[in-house]
Structure 1
Amino acid sequence: MSAALILAGSRSGAVDPVATYAGVAHKALIVLGGETLLARVAGALDAAGLSPIAVSADHPAVVAEAERLGLTVLPPEAGPSASVGAALAALGTPLLVTTADHALLEAEWVRRFRADAPTGADVAVLLARRDVVEAAAPATRRTWLRFADGDWSGCNLFLLATPAAAGAIGLWQAVEADRKRPWRIVRRLGPGLLLRYLLGRLTLGEALAHLGARAGLRAAAVASPFGLAAVDVDKPADLDLVRTLTS
């Protein structure tokens, strides 16, 4: 049995424009199709057969909703990666990680991701190619990671498959800091791979494998055939889009 973690922490002192736009206290409490986003995500994970399901949250209203749903509540740490590290210590592996704003998440996507994760990988990351995403949601605006094998968008699904995945937490923190500047992530691999990236010759899988090796683990990228898996609710426009897609 695999455990799951939903990240639903609050940024200290920050006002979430999506929550403000929706008129709720926290983004996880936005109601879509008669359910809060937290309930939708937890329901998809449960339907995919994951248990226990924990949520990293500290906002009182989110904690109350998590308790209503029967979820395990874990206090968040300073940032998503540190929260994942704490959950990994508490829940063990395998651990699937996602976010409370993954509004369209479906159990099929989770099952397919787990099935497609390479045997022997300590960490797997789900991403979708630009053509797949834009075919499913032409109106979406994403941050694209540009590699030799195409432009990719993250899908907010991560599988920490083995205890060695603990070594990925430091790498995750670096990626968090540079997620909008992929060339800075690749720069950590050294001048040879950076040059390959700048020349458009480095694939996403190669970059992730080398980053994992630097952290002492085996990391793999998994390509999602579901373009909507890359759509989360980061901006008010994203919320408008998912409301349209679920109406």
Structure 2
Amino acid sequence: MTDIVAILLAGSRPGTDPLAKAAGVAIKPLAPVAGDPMINYPARALLSHPAIGKLLILTQTPDLLTANPATAWIAEHPKVMFERSGAGIASTLMTLLDRPGMTFPLLVTTADHVLLDRDMLDQFVAEAKGADLAVAMVERATLLARYPASRRTWLKFRDGWWSGANIFWFGGPQVRPVVALWREVEQDRKKGWKILSAFGPLVLLGALLRILPLRGGIARVGRRFGLTARLVAMARAEGCIDADKVEDVTLIERILSERGG
């Protein structure tokens, strides 16, 4: 299976990113982690995976990546194409979904997913395959068992506290209504109740009363749109550790050192 199109989100949010500012670089994907621009890590993981046939890099400023000696290799890779992204992630994805000739499935992840590796991709692809929509998340006990001091944004459900792992699966253009909803709540991604309420009162009530398991909630959301939707509960704690804050980079660099690179 080499027909998956991977999409690596490498754009900039409005305003100044603290990691980019601290590193003295123009955009966050160029901020160094263990001496290497962070985008290089997930790019290498995706390009080396046998299931990935093509990699699209979405960014508002492709020239900053192609002109940088440390990231120019990405543009030179035969599987890579750059796409200029718009104001928001979901809006850009909507454009891709509507593009004639676009091939599926799509696997979407982010440039700050520095710890992404072959094992995580193997699990996600195996469990997402065949679904219209899949979302990777990590349960709090999984993270705290390995990294008890790590702080994440959590959503509480009957089956635990969950944090996003920044890997998504779109099986085909039929996911367009979900991406359209994502576009509506994009600015509230850290406000869990607003996201849940957008998916309907039963899902919101189930989360608030702790009576709805996340796996069942995602499946129910999928059925609302006529889709097969799945939770991929990542086995690796590192799945939800992205380079979002200075303390995240410190932890990631320690993990990379323990891995040996």
* TM-score, length of structure 2 as denominator length: 0.86
Q: Distance in 1 between matches of 2:165 and 2:212?
A: 21
Shift of 1:42: 1.0
Aligned length: 245
SS in 2 for 1:155: strand
Unaligned stretches of 5+ residues in structure 2: none
**1:182-221 correspondence runs (5 A):** 182-221=192-231
**Counterpart pick for 1:110 among 102, 106, 121:** 121
8 Å Cα contact 2:138-2:237 kept in structure 1: yes
Distance 2:244 2:168 in 1: 18
Q: Check 1:202–1:62 CA distance in 2 against 1; reply closer, same or farther (3 A cut).
A: same
Give distance in 1, aligned partners of 2:12 and 2:111. 11
Maintained 8 Å contact 1:88/1:95: no
> Any residues of structure 2 matched to 1:157-176 within 5 Å, and which?
157-176=167-186
Amino acid aligned to 2:89: P
- Report deviation, 1:190: 4.2
- SS state at 2:142 partner: helix
Deviates more, 1:42-51 or 1:207-216: 207-216
Partner of 2:33: 32
Secondary structure at 2:53's aligned position in 1?
Answer: coil
Q: Distance in 1 between matches of 2:157 and 2:129?
A: 21
Render the CA deviation track for 1:112-154: whole Å, top value 9, x for unaligned: 10101263x2010000100111222222210001100000010
Separation of aligned partners in 2, 1:135 and 1:226: 10
Contact 1:118 1:220 in 2 (8 A): no
1:55 equivalent to 2:80? Answer no
Give 1:15 shift.
Answer: 0.6
Question: Letter of the aligned partner of 1:110 in structure 2?
Answer: L
After TM superposition, the structure 1 stretch with the greater mean CA deviation from structure 2, 163-172 or 186-195, is 186-195
The question of 1:129 aligning with 2:139 is answered yes
Cα distance change on mapping 1:228 and 1:244 into 2, 3 Å: same
SS in 1 for 2:137: strand
CA shift in 2, pair 1:210/1:21, >3 Å: same
TM-score (norm 1): 0.90
Root-mean-square deviation (CA, aligned residues, Å) is: 2.0
**Contact 1:171–1:215 (8 Å) recurs in 2:** no
- Is 2:78 aligned against 1:67? no
Mean Cα deviation higher: 193-202 or 102-111? 193-202
Q: Any stretches of 5+ residues in structure 1 without a counterpart?
A: none
Structure 1 residues 198 and 92: alpha-carbon distance in aligned structure 2, compared to 1, 3 A threshold: same
